[in-house]
Structure 1
Amino acid sequence: MEFGLWEKYYKEILDDFGFSRENDEKSAKLLDEILSTEGCLTLEDLKGFVDFSDKFIVFGAGPSLKEHVKFLMENYDLKDYVLVAADGATTALVEERIAPDIVATDLDGNLDDILLANFRGANVAIHAHGDNMDKIAKLTPFFTSVLGTTQSQPVGNLYNFGGFTDGDRAMFLAVALGAEEITLAGMDFGDIVTRYSRPNIETEIAQADDFKKKKLGYAEKFAQWIEDNENVVIKNLCE
């Protein structure tokens, strides 16, 4: 999705959630400054890493995640797919000794597992927004093979492929990398959160609060936009 089109949705999100565009832009500038010093990937670099397949599996952190991971392990040859984990979904893959090719994160998942995946070869798409500037500053230098993304106007080394949550941003990234087929695992778009998306909850699952429900609504909306507007076949294992 080109930024000119994305900006219409972006303004809607800013108004709906009361987010600050200025803070988003500050966070993007900070991430760009860090990556300018530490080094980063370009989109072409990342395409080179995943050119073995145009078939992608995007893992979300919904309640169906572990069931879907086990189903995929039993019925798919995962070596034939580019595996993209949306933030906290990385933990479920690590638990099953699966190494994702890419992790899309705004750094609020289980950082130990995301760092471990990165150490094992996963490329990391780190996303800057107004609420994660402290994490951007403290954590970005610990990662290697980083692609920077933003939800505001892209600057410097950063990209904006479209998308709002880790899950639908992972889908837009897959499209930008040339995906012709995307299988969605753990992408429930419902009103339940898991310990994968909310590491601080005390139970395996919990009811999503209104803020999270609204975010999941946008995620579903953008997943549908991709299916309607991009030349890609989407299969959601939840359906």
Structure 2
Amino acid sequence: MKINIGLIYSFSTQVEMAKIVVEEFQNKPKLFFGYGILDDAIPVAKKMVTDGAVAIIAMGGTAKVLEEHVSVPVIPIRVGILDIIKAVEIAKNFSHKIAITTEIPVKGIDLIEKLYNVTVKQIIFTDKNDFLYGLTKAVHDGCEVIIGKSKLAVELAEQYGAKGVLVTYDTDILSEAINEAIRMAVLRRREREQYILLETIFDTLSEGIIVVDRNATITRFNLAASHILRRLPKEM
């Protein structure tokens, strides 16, 4: 059975990269593509799940937002320190005052600053409001280049008068995310199959079984228990 995976992309080249990467898989999953960043990605992801996606892949900040809104595993694309270094190498050509948008603190920024003789301010955000506030404050504080992981970050930086630089990543990063999505989807499918099997065994046992919680409240029972006690399920 083919596995359906949704990819929420934040810049267009992610789509072409994903189409190339997925061809390398022996059991090639079907990819659904949709553009979205942070809260704007929620309806996109929900539609993907409705259409049959069993896992969603998105950039870190967007993935964190989606975890609370969809019922399937959400796999973040984990951009590495080398990808950030590549972006800093580009950014330093425009200014030594740089800011980077990130959902979690980036380790090693102090070493990057020393290596390239730049100052790097981290704009840490959890939602769109944090993102916009941090970006405007960074520009106000003198940051002339904004490094971001989405097209939106680059566009907003330039709207506020700064230079925007996009963080890109290689195919290995995306391949790892797709592998993880497949692994999680297979695991959840097996768990579901085991649950159905246990449910079937529970309901067909000839022995009556009643399950109670710590307050002695009946939480469930099987058909045999209903017959033995001569009570209808709604009376239990």
TM over 0.5: no
TM (norm. structure 2) is: 0.28
TM (norm. structure 1) is: 0.28
Bigger Rg, which one: 2
